[in-house]
């Protein structure tokens, strides 16, 4: 995915307010000035979540992401640093 954000995972938790929704905390690296920016990725049941091999990813596996893992996220990022994911590649 060429137009997505490459996010280095810090942690992942289920959203207690919404079912089938997970929040992934992480950092993105801006290439323009070598700055690292913290982001939160909101993944709900409508987002397409797949492994790099093309297999679908279960919500349980999404919760088990390890710190330091790199994921590619496609979605809209707001000015507060929250990305509403439409596609996630682990």
For the chain, the domains span 5-89
DSSP 61: H
Nearest-angstrom CA–CA distance, 47 and 88: 7
Domain 5-89 has CATH 3.30.70.20: no
Residue 81: pLDDT band with limits 50, 70, 90? very high
The pLDDT of residue 59 is 80
The pLDDT of residue 13 is 94
Give tens-digit pLDDT for 4-61. Answer: 999 999 999 998 888 889 999 999 998 788 899 999 999 998 999 999 999 999 888 8
Check: pTM over 0.85? Answer yes or no: yes
CB 25 within 8 A of CB 38: yes
Q: Name residues whose C-beta falls within 8 Å of residue 72's C-beta, 6 or more positions apart in sequence.
A: 1, 4, 5, 6, 7, 88, 89
On the question of pLDDT at 88 being above 70, the answer is: yes
């Amino acid at each position: 995915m060429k137009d997505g954000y490459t996010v280095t995972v810090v942690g992942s938790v289920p959203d207690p307010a919404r079912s089938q929704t997970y929040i992934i905390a992480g950092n993105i690296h801006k290439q323009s000035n070598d700055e690292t920016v913290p982001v939160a990725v909101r993944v709900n049941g409508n987002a397409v979540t797949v492994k790099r091999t093309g297999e679908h990813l279960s919500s349980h596996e999404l919760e088990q992401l390890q710190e330091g893992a790199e994921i590619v996220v496609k979605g809209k990022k707001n000015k507060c640093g929250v990305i509403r994911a439409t596609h996630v590649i682990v």
